[in-house]
Amino acid sequence: MVYFKRCKRTKRKFTLMVIVFSFIGCNKLPQLSDAYEFGHSPEIFPDYDGVTVPYNIAPLNFELMDSCQALFVKISSAKGENNFSFRKKKVYFPEKKWKKILSENKGDTVFITIYSKKGDKWRKYNPIHFFVSKDSIDRMLVYRKIMPGYQTWNTMGIYERDLSNFKEKLVLNSEIMPGTCMNCHTFRNNEPDSWLLHLRENFGGTIIFTNDNLKKIQTKIPQTFGSAGFSYWHPSGKYIAFSINKITQIFHGVGKVRAHALDMKSDMVIYDVEKNSFFTSPLINSPDAFEAFPCFSPNGKTLYYVSSPAGELPQDQRKMKYSLCSVSFDEQNGIIGNKVDTLISAKMLNKSVSIPRVSPDGRFIMLTQLDYGNFPAYNPEADLYLYDLKEHKMRALDAFNSNDVESWHCWSSNGRWVVFSSRRRDGLFMDVWIGYIDQNGAPRKPFLLPQKDPEFYDSFLFSFNLPELIKEPISVSPHRIAKVATKSKGQQAEFDTSH
């Protein structure tokens, strides 16, 4: 009897050991010398072949699109080789090991050789590779997740994602603030110390965080036709440029363009954070033109924006073409210059440009070019372009562009990385893409925001809106924001005529 019990115990121990070793043995090299060679590269999702990645990016987990029972993945570079085994066809790199591989290979190319097992046989694909840049990317990515249900706000949230791993943290969502639309989160110089976001419908207002102080303001003043919309912080943090837009949504009867956001009217104002007051100039607030999407230069001396002659919408929708303009700005006295320069003329281009964003070194402006209008989210032809402020030339960022929408771009603080939204995968859901751009403005093949589960995008029913890079996590909790937003109506902003 005792012997029987011992046998049973030994058997249990043996089973346990088999289980443990089957896990530990994952990295054990299988017999690959006689693997059949396909002679072509593997098809993987997301496609990481030939991309450039920052050395502080989360593991590029992927899925082999061919069916197989097991995978053996060899990561090799000049610095050495690492082997990984996986059951089935999904590859999950251990975070620690991944970080080590990237930090050892800064400025170098890393090769991935995939062996897949079908039946008893191993098959080998041609290696794929990615380049590890010496330039890091800002740690946090802030975006809004919203169902692509056109313009509704019942279910949405703003989140921040740590790009060096897969952790995502809530900033604010519609569960804490029911019936509230939250949008246009904007940061000063990629810093989490000064930011703002708008709330619409329930608890409407603008939340501004600066000097560790959270406040809510009401931006609708008698001098403007609506509340403040698209925004951009002055590098000093003293001012915020806003466009005031009257946006309405209209639907397409047919085709891939399901809906369209029409900017029926727009003007621009500048907000003095300390004084809680707005000021403007007839040059950026003209009844004969629609001005939108402001952006300050890194030295704060120039204000860029897009402008189109006023029109009657929706009938003039396709005639609305926006030019890139600039006006000088005196930070000391808060004075807007008296001369507008047109950098890109929509008339000459016969296209429209929108969302100008100046690179941190002040040399380039990245913008979206589209056939008409200024709201590129629904224009499949919308592509990213780079305007060289030194040579005064504009060129397409072909490596970043696709046949579908590319827009809502944001520079990293070092100017080497750009995050942007694109509907390229299926034409409906907006995803975040990350691309490298060198000091001469040359882009390299971008990659899809990595997720822990490579199948994440297969069942994820939200779009990622307005990706913004920041250096560190936001220090304010969702409940603190919600408290400020719900407890008070907000301070009423004034209009300052002295400017």
Partner 1 sequence: MKQINHKSENSFWLKLCEKGIPGIVMAVILGVFIQLKYQYHFFLKEQISFFAFDGQHILSYLNKPSFFSKLVADFISQFFYLRGTAAIIVPLLFLILYFSIKKVIQNFSDGSLGGFYALFPTILIIIFVFNVNTDLTYFISFLLMLLLFEGYSLLPSKWWRSLVIFILIPFLYAAIGGLVSFLGILIFIYEIKNNSYFSLLRRMLTVFILIFSLLVPLMFRYHYAISLSQAFLYPVDYKLVSLGWILAPLFSLLIVILLAEIEDQQYFKLCLCLVSVAFIILIVFGCYTHVNLNLEKLLALDSEWYFGNIDKIYELENKYEYKSSAGACYCNLAHAARGELADRFFDVHQTGPQGLVLPISNKGSYLPIIFANEVYFYLGDVNASQHLALLAMIFSSNHYSSRLLRRLIQVNVINEEYKIAEKYLKILEKTLFHKKWAHNLLLMLNDNDEEKISYISWVRDKRLNVPTKEDLRQTNDCVKAFELLLERNPENLDALHYKLCYHLLGKEVEAFANTFFQFREILLRVRVPKLYQEALVIYYINKPDLELWSQIPVKPAILKKFIEYNNLYVHYQGEGRKLEKNFKNTYWFYYHYAKAEKEE
3-state secondary structure at position 132: strand
Name the segment binding partner 1 (CB under 8 A); options: 132-140, 247-255, 304-312, 370-378.
Answer: 247-255
The amino acid occupying position 255 is G
3-state secondary structure at position 41: coil
The answer to whether residues 270 and 241 touch, using CB atoms and an 8 Å cutoff, is yes
Enumerate residues 301-330 that contact partner 1 by CB under 8 A. Answer: 314, 317
| Shortest separation between residue 459's beta carbon and partner 1, angstroms | 5
| Shortest separation between residue 314's beta carbon and partner 1, angstroms | 6
Q: How many residues bind partner 1 (CB under 8 A)?
A: 40
- Considering the complex, state which of residue 47 and residue 494 has its C-beta at the smaller distance from partner 1: 47
Cα distances (Å, whole numbers) of residue 189 to 88, 263, 386, 414, 468: 44, 27, 19, 10, 10
Should residue 456 be labelled a site residue for partner 1 when binding is judged by CB under 8 A?
Answer: yes
| Shortest separation between residue 61's beta carbon and partner 1, angstroms | 13
Enumerate residues 149-188 that contact partner 1 by CB under 8 A. Answer: 149-150, 152, 154-155, 170, 173, 175-176, 178
The tokens of 110 are what?
Answer: 């890393």
Cβ burial 75-85 (10 Å sphere, 16+ → b, else e) = bbbeeeebbbb
3-state secondary structure at position 460: coil
Nearest in space to 446 (alpha carbons), one of 457, 437, 455? 437
Should residue 254 be labelled a site residue for partner 1 when binding is judged by CB under 8 A?
Answer: yes
Should residue 297 be labelled a site residue for partner 1 when binding is judged by CB under 8 A?
Answer: no
Interface residue with partner 1 among 25, 94, 107, 427 (CB under 8 A) is 427
- Considering the complex, state which of residue 16 and residue 65 has its C-beta at the smaller distance from partner 1: 65
Q: What are phi and psi of 344, to 5 degrees?
A: -125, 120
Torsion angle of C-alpha atoms 370, 375, 378, 381, degrees rounded to 10: 10
The tokens of 257 are what?
Answer: 């363009």
Should residue 252 be labelled a site residue for partner 1 when binding is judged by CB under 8 A?
Answer: yes
Should residue 473 be labelled a site residue for partner 1 when binding is judged by CB under 8 A?
Answer: no
| Shortest separation between residue 250's beta carbon and partner 1, angstroms | 5
- Considering the complex, state which of residue 62 and residue 130 has its C-beta at the smaller distance from partner 1: 62
Residues whose CB is less than 8 angstroms from the CB of residue 141 and which lie 6 or more positions away in sequence, other chains included: 160, 161, 163, 419, 432, 449, 467, 468, 469, 470
- Considering the complex, state which of residue 334 and residue 373 has its C-beta at the smaller distance from partner 1: 373
Q: Tell me the C-alpha distance between 105 and 131, whole Å.
A: 9
Should residue 258 be labelled a site residue for partner 1 when binding is judged by CB under 8 A?
Answer: yes
* Interaction mask 381-420, partner 1, x per CB under 8 A: ----------------------------------------
- Considering the complex, state which of residue 70 and residue 170 has its C-beta at the smaller distance from partner 1: 170
| Shortest separation between residue 43's beta carbon and partner 1, angstroms | 14
The answer to whether residues 425 and 431 touch, using CB atoms and an 8 Å cutoff, is yes
Should residue 255 be labelled a site residue for partner 1 when binding is judged by CB under 8 A?
Answer: yes
Should residue 479 be labelled a site residue for partner 1 when binding is judged by CB under 8 A?
Answer: yes
Nearest in space to 222 (alpha carbons), one of 495, 498, 497? 495
Name the segment binding partner 1 (CB under 8 A); options: 119-127, 281-289, 375-383, 455-463.
Answer: 455-463
3-state secondary structure at position 332: coil
Residue bearing tokens 């490596």: 399
- Considering the complex, state which of residue 236 and residue 317 has its C-beta at the smaller distance from partner 1: 317
| Shortest separation between residue 255's beta carbon and partner 1, angstroms | 6
Should residue 482 be labelled a site residue for partner 1 when binding is judged by CB under 8 A?
Answer: yes
Q: Which helix (H) or strand (E) holds 97?
A: helix 95-104
Residues at the interface with partner 1 (CB under 8 A): 147-150, 152, 154-155, 170, 173, 175-176, 178, 250-260, 314, 317, 425-429, 453, 455-456, 458-459, 461, 477-479, 482
